[in-house]
């Protein structure tokens, strides 16, 4: 027990220091409550919140998510301080009352042992962390990018000084208690207490120095004042130091929002209000939980370590944002606490505009933060202020905003073209099938981006194979508003969301399945804020369910390995990690986990509206950083050389970013969505790497379009005209190659035979029914275009063994022996797969075909207008094309074209819209030739543009790839004649197409 004078002095000291400490905490409370009210529930279910906060605090589970060894040292300090709450109370009472806790009983022994061991662990932890903070690797961890904005107090070394003060306090506080306990053991004669080994060791050392029971009281008083006096004195400094997180972290856990990280707080957009609350310009414009985050921050820089922008050298640092807020709050005086405006806007001391627009909203900072700060939400609030109030935002976003406002999609493409992705497929809309079990939300990317269109086409065909009763909204679908909301345009987001909610409420879907995680997140998590409550599922989850039910049975391949990239809005924001991996494993493939995967996945760089703008200045592109990690992982895989290097994704934006990143230019990695991989395995479309023999080609059976689809989804079959077998899906590595026009394709043709003489007019045959969605092609004439267009296609001849069509000479053509004609027709074998020159008809006086009433052309699908890739034809082993030799006279009429053969699964075109030079006709050519059916399919779009022409220029890929590095689909011929700005826009430096508005007439 303390002497009386010490009791009095300590009581007075305790009252004074407690008063200063309480006043500091009161000021802290006033500053926090200067923030705006939170739109989210923070105080509901108090018991549940307290229990969850206690569990999170005591288990330290958030701390152990990163840096495990450092987390162990932190746990030493944390658990020591928790126990010291009891130890300090007991020690304080011992100074005023006659009682002792000895190890003579079980309770006393346990108490003394824990106090002794935890004191030692706290000292080990604080010394180790102090060494790390100020030296070696720790010094690098706590540094900031040269581009990062730092508060002037941070630049003056405040953080290092504060860390030194806090470390010194902890060491002195615990060390004083240990030393005082050693003197106490000497005074009590318990130097050899086995339950206090550390304090006993100190007592033994003190005894060796001459301390005994008669002079031990002075040391005990030192220990008492040192341990308890330091903690009371530190209370006055607590509200201004980083150590305040020991109190604020549990408060943050208790008052955390219940929504997941993918749900942004709702903002009431009231433009008629006198002072509308649209975003944050100053500290007091932030909601109070954002201000609380600044005081809870432990300044560990873990968020900076996982931030994609920070890790690629950009100015954004989530840690610096919170630290700068804390420094400014510490500097603000009573005026701010009383309601005065803060003197500086956030963009002057907390974060730069470049850093604001560098955020990808991946949520990695929020997921890894040990005290559950929400740094991303600060950035969203600042963006809202910049967009809706200041009008200051990257100029590239203007096109996306305009496109969403006018056309319902950020590409700005007409909503009338929203279903063109399904050309050649029978995809039911909600008007055709008003009671579907599944409403497939296609999304803007799958509707307009060529690479994402392949995902949508694969997915709907999987639904057909599984017999799912589904429908799409078609032209009634509009952008969910994810891009607008993440870019800060809350007003536009709410407009789009309310329109979609009205549509969905009218449809009343049972289940919504989306191939885009951004759409899934917005509809499932954010539409409920506006009254739209729906059951939403990602397509990988639905595929997992179909496989589990046996409705999809993928072909199991030989043991292979592919890697998987976790999309941020599927994994981190919505917790979907296992479903994509289970679908991959159901195909007999093993998943090669990346170093940064699952919760620790690294962003592709598209989120937060980054897809629609150029990246901010930095050391490298985010997508490059991620792709190099993928490349390195696949390079180490033993099976990659045999099975190909494939990275699976579950997001169209991830696919586009990884395909268009410059690091992929020289890579052999193939990026595919899980739906594409599943579609190949389900239909068993993966070919052998080698070709097939000519005899096997000759034995192929005629192909009936849509024969593999359910009967209700079949299109009209082509009568009296056998079709070649569709090209099977190529090996992934082959599929990604872009064919040159002169590359051999080895495609099968119909057998050629000369036509009858012109005087022998053949009887008109019934015209074959065109495939739905395809335009009938008719060449123009040089002098009489209408007459030429009205000429019908020749009647379908019975296919020969090779599937070639017999040829009959026209009236004006000189007689040619059949053998000679056959020789001429086979002479083209040297140049397999080359394009045929098309020449306009001359003024024809006679016609070898009977005239027929002119029919309007039908739309040509993207697949029919695209040549098959060279590698794909080699893999399928189809027969080589023959080079056709032109006739002698240019005045001789060329044979009219036959509609090209139908293909169920369209292949990739050699160039996307805007990637191929428009074909222009040359002057009158000396010769004309009859193109084959396959060539006419490849040339149809160009021939709709011009009546006479020359050979098409060989297409070369651009230096930077388009929005998707995969060969995009060519636009249908029906729209090829229209001048669509979205289709002809030049790509930006990122390889993505930049939208240009339509010109007003």
Q: What is the pLDDT of residue 140?
A: 62
CA distance 749 to 233: 93
> Alpha-carbon distance 765 to 184, whole Å?
115
What pLDDT does residue 776 have?
Answer: 39
Of 124-138, 408-422, 580-594, 734-748, which range is least confident?
A: 734-748
Q: What is the pLDDT of residues 339-359, one digit of tens each?
A: 888 889 999 999 999 999 999
Residue 550 has pLDDT above 80, yes or no: yes
Using pLDDT thresholds of 50, 70 and 90, give the confidence band for residue 205. confident
Give 662's DSSP letter: G
The Cα–Cα gap between 337 and 333 comes to 7
How many domains does the chain fold into? Answer: 3
Number of H helices, E strands in the chain: 40, 8
Report pLDDT for 558: 64
Q: Which of 202, 236, 270 is the last residue of a domain?
A: 236
Say if residues 634 and 658 touch (Cβ distance below 8 Å): no
Assign 666 a pLDDT band (cuts: 50, 70, 90): confident
Q: Please give the average per-residue pLDDT across 954-964, as a whole number.
A: 41
Instruction: Assess if residue 352 is contained within a domain.
Output: no
Confidence of residue 805 (pLDDT cuts 50, 70, 90): very low
pLDDT of amino acid 137: 61
Most distant CA pair in the chain, distance: 138
Residue 968, pLDDT > 80, answer no
Section 980-988 average pLDDT = 40
Rounded CA-CA distance 633/648 in Å is 13
- Quote the CA–CA distance of 472 and 464 in Å, as a whole number: 13
Residues 199, 88 share a domain: yes
- Domain termination residue (choose one: 516, 545, 574): 545
pLDDT band at 268 (very low <50, low <70, confident <90, very high): confident
Q: What percent of the chain has pLDDT over 90?
A: 37
**Which residue has better confidence, 37 or 988?**
37
pLDDT digits over 667-693, tens only?
888 899 999 999 988 876 444 444 433
Residue whose tokens read 């030049």: 986
- SS3 track for 872-921: HHHHHCCCCCCCCCCCCCCCCCCCCCCCCCCCCCCCCCCCCCCCCCCCCC
The yes-or-no verdict on residue 203 having pLDDT over 80 is: yes
Confidence check: pLDDT of 901 > 90: no
Averaged pLDDT, 202-227: 83
How does residue 495 score in pLDDT terms, banded at 50, 70 and 90?
very high
The percent of residues above 70 in pLDDT, for the chain, comes to 66
The pTM assigned to this predicted structure is 0.67
Is position 871 within any domain? no
CA 522 – CA 655 distance, rounded (Å): 20
User: What is the per-residue pLDDT for 996?
Assistant: 52
Report if residue 581 sits inside a domain. yes
Mean pLDDT value of segment 384-392: 91
- Confirm whether 832 is domain-assigned: no
Could you tell me if residue 572 is left (phi over 0), alpha (psi between -120 and 50 degrees) or otherwise beta? alpha
Confidence (pLDDT) at 648: 93
Residue 806 DSSP label: B
> Does 663 have pLDDT greater than 70?
yes
360: confidence class by pLDDT, cuts 50, 70, 90:
very high
Which pLDDT band holds residue 380 (cuts at 50, 70, 90)?
very high
Residue 966 has pLDDT above 90, yes or no: no
Per-residue pLDDT, averaged over 468-476, amounts to: 93
584 and 482 belong to one structural domain: no
Mean pLDDT of 99-106: 82
DSSP of 402-423 = HHHHHHSSTT---GGGTTGGGT
In a shared domain, residues 423 and 534: yes
Residue corresponding to tokens 């033994």: 204
Over 60: is that where the pLDDT of 269 sits?
yes
Decide if pLDDT at 509 tops 60.
yes
- The full DSSP string for 148-164 is S---HHHHTTHHHHHHH
The pLDDT assigned to 699 comes to 43
3-state class (DSSP) for residue 643? helix
Q: 115 and 9, same structural domain?
A: yes
Residue 362, classified by CB atoms within 10 Å of its CB into exposed (0-12), middle (13-18) or buried (19+), is buried
Please tell me the distance from the alpha carbon of residue 227 to that of residue 237, in angstroms, as a whole number. 16
Q: Please tell me whether residues 491 and 618 are part of one structural domain.
A: no
Q: What whole-number distance in Å separates Cα of residue 596 and Cα of residue 341?
A: 43
Same domain, 514 and 477: yes
Closest Cα partner for 374 from 486, 260, 452, 281? 260
With respect to residue 171, please indicate whether it lies within any of the assigned structural domains: yes
HSE-up (13 A, CA, CB side) for residue 925: 21
Say if 660 falls within a structural domain: yes
CATH number of the structural domain spanning residue 513: 3.40.50
* Angle (nearest 5°) at CA 975 between 971 and 977: 110
CA distance 137 to 24: 35
Q: Which two tokens stand for residue 229?
A: 């006096």
Q: CA-based Rg of the chain, rounded to a whole angstrom? A: 37
Output the six-digit token pair for 575: 């917790």
* pLDDT at position 789 over 90: no
Whether 657 is covered by a domain: the verdict is yes
Helix (H) or strand (E) holding 40: none
Contact 372, 276 (CB under 8 A): no
- Residues 455 and 483 placed together within one structural domain of the fold: yes
Is residue 624 domain-shared with residue 661, that is, in the same domain?
Answer: yes
646 beta partners = 670
Residues 411 and 466 in one domain: yes
pLDDT band at 725, cuts 50/70/90? very low
Question: How far apart (Å, rounded) are the C-alpha atoms in residues 212 and 203?
Answer: 10
Concatenating the DSSP letter of every residue in 439-496 gives EEE-HHHHHH-HHHHHHHHHHHHHHHHHT--EEE-GGG----SHHHHHTT-HHHHHHH
* Judgement on whether residues 193 and 79 belong to the same structural domain of the protein: yes
| Same structural domain, 631 and 651 | yes
pLDDT band at 337 (very low <50, low <70, confident <90, very high): confident
Output the CA angle 208-213-219, nearest 5 degrees: 75
Over residues 808-834, mean pLDDT: 40
Q: What is the pLDDT of residue 273?
A: 67
Q: What is the mean pLDDT of residues 897-925?
A: 39
Q: Does the pLDDT at position 157 exceed 90?
A: no
Residue 752 confidence (pLDDT): 41
- The answer to whether residue 183 sits within a structural domain is yes
Which of 209, 236, 263 is the last residue before a domain boundary?
236
* pLDDT of residue 723 exceeding 60: no
Mean pLDDT of the chain: 73
Closest by CA to 848, choosing from 887, 898, 891, 791, is 791
Instruction: Tokens for 547, please give them.
Output: 């496989």
252-265: per-residue pLDDT in tens? 999 998 888 899 99
Same domain, residue pair 116 and 207: yes
Give the domain range for residue 72.
Answer: 4-32+66-236
């Amino acid at each position: 027990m303390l002497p009386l004078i010490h009791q009095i002095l300590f009581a007075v000291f305790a009252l004074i220091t407690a008063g200063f400490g309480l006043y500091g905490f009161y000021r802290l409370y006033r500053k926090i409550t200067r923030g705006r009210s939170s739109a989210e529930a923070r105080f509901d279910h108090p018991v549940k919140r307290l229990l969850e906060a206690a569990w999170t605090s005591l288990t330290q589970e958030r701390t152990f998510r990163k840096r495990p060894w450092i987390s162990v040292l932190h746990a030493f300090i944390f658990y020591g301080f928790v126990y010291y709450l009891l130890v300090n109370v007991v020690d304080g009472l011992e100074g005023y009352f006659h009682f002792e806790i000895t190890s003579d009983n079980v309770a006393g022994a346990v108490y003394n042992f824990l106090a002794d061991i935890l004191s030692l662990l706290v000292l080990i932890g604080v010394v180790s962390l102090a060494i790390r903070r100020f030296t070696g690797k720790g010094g690098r961890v706590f540094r900031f990018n040269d581009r990062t904005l730092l508060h002037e107090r941070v630049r003056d070394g405040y953080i290092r000084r504060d860390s030194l003060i806090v470390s010194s306090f902890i060491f002195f506080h615990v060390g004083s208690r240990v030393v005082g306990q050693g003197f106490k053991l000497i005074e009590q004669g318990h130097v050899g207490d086995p339950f206090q080994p550390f304090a006993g060791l100190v007592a033994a050392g003190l005894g060796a120095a001459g301390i005994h029971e008669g002079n031990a009281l002075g040391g005990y008083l030192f220990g008492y004042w040192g341990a308890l006096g330091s903690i009371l004195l530190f209370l006055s400094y607590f509200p201004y130091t980083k150590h305040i997180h020991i109190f604020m972290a549990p408060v943050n856990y208790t008052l955390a929002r219940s929504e997941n990280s993918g749900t942004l707080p709702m903002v009431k957009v009231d433009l008629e209000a006198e002072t509308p609350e649209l975003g944050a310009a100053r500290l007091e414009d932030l909601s109070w939980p954002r201000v609380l985050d600044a005081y809870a921050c432990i300044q560990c820089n873990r968020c900076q370590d996982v931030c994609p922008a920070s890790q690629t050298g950009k100015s954004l640092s989530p840690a610096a944002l919170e630290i700068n807020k804390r420094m400014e709050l510490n500097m603000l005086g009573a005026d701010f606490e009383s309601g005065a405006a803060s003197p500086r806007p956030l963009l002057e001391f907390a974060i730069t505009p470049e850093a604001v627009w560098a955020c990808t909203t991946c949520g990695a900072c929020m997921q890894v933060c040990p005290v559950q700060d929400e740094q991303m939400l600060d950035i969203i609030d600042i963006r809202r202020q910049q967009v809706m109030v200041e009008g200051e935002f990257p100029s590239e976003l203007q096109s996306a905003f305009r496109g969403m406002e006018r056309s319902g999609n950020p590409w700005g493409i007409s909503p009338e073209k929203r279903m063109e992705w399904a050309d050649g497929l029978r995809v039911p809309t909600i008007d055709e099938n008003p009671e579907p079990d599944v409403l497939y939300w296609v999304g803007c990317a799958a509707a307009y981006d060529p690479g994402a269109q392949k995902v949508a086409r694969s997915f709907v065909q999987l639904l057909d194979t599984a017999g799912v009763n589904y429908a799409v909204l078609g032209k009634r679908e509009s952008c969910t508003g994810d891009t607008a909301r993440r870019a800060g345009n809350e007003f536009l987001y709410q407009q789009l969301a309310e329109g979609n909610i009205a549509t969905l409420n009218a449809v009343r879907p049972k289940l919504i399945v989306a191939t885009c995680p951004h759409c899934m997140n917005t509809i499932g998590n954010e539409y409920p804020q506006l009254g739209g409550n729906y059951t939403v599922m990602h397509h990988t989850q639905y595929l997992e369910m179909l496989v589990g039910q046996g409705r999809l049975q993928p072909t199991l391949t030989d043991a292979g390995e592919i890697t998987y990239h976790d999309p941020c809005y599927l994994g981190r924001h919505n917790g979907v990690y296992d479903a994509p991996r289970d679908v991959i494993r159901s195909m007999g493939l093993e998943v090669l986990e990346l170093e940064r995967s699952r919760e620790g996945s690294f962003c592709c760089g598209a989120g937060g509206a980054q897809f629609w703008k150029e990246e901010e200045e930095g050391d490298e592109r985010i997508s490059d950083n991620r792709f190099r990690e993928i490349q390195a992982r696949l390079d180490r895989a033993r099976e990659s050389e045999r099975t190909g290097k494939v990275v699976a994704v579950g997001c169209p934006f991830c696919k586009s970013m990884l395909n268009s990143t410059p690091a992929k230019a020289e890579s052999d990695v193939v990026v595919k969505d899980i739906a594409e991989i599943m579609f190949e395995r389900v239909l068993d479309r993966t070919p052998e790497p080698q070709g097939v023999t000519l005899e096997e080609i000759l034995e192929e059976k005629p192909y009936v379009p849509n024969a593999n689809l359910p009967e209700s989804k079949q299109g009209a079959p082509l009568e009296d005209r056998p079709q070649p077998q569709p090209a099977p899906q190529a090996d992934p590595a082959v599929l990604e190659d872009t064919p040159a026009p002169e590359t051999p394709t080895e495609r099968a043709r119909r057998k050629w035979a000369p036509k009858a003489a012109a005087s022998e007019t053949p009887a008109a045959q019934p015209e074959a029914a065109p495939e739905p969605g395809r335009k009938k092609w008719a060449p123009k004439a040089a002098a009489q275009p209408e007459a030429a267009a009205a000429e019908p296609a020749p009647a379908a001849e019975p296919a020969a063994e090779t599937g070639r069509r017999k040829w009959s000479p026209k009236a004006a053509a000189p007689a040619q022996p059949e053998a000679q004609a056959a020789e001429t027709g086979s002479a083209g074998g040297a140049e397999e797969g080359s394009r045929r020159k098309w020449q306009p008809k001359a003024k024809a006086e006679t016609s070898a075909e009977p005239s027929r009433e002119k029919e309007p052309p039908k739309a040509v699908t993207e697949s029919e207008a695209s040549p098959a890739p060279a590698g794909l034809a080699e893999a399928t082993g189809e027969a080589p094309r023959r080079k056709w030799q032109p006739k002698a006279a240019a005045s001789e009429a060329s044979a009219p074209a036959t509609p090209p053969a139908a293909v169920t699964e369209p292949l990739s075109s050699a160039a996307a819209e805007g990637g191929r030079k428009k074909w222009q006709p040359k002057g009158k050519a000396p010769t004309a030739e009859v193109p084959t059916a396959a060539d006419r399919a490849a040339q149809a779009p160009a021939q709709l543009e011009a009546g006479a022409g020359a050979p098409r220029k060989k297409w070369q890929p651009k230096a930077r790839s388009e929005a998707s590095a995969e060969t995009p689909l060519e636009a249908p011929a029906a729209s090829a004649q229209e001048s669509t700005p979205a289709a002809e826009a030049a790509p930006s430096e990122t390889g993505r197409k930049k939208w240009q508005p339509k010109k007003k007439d």
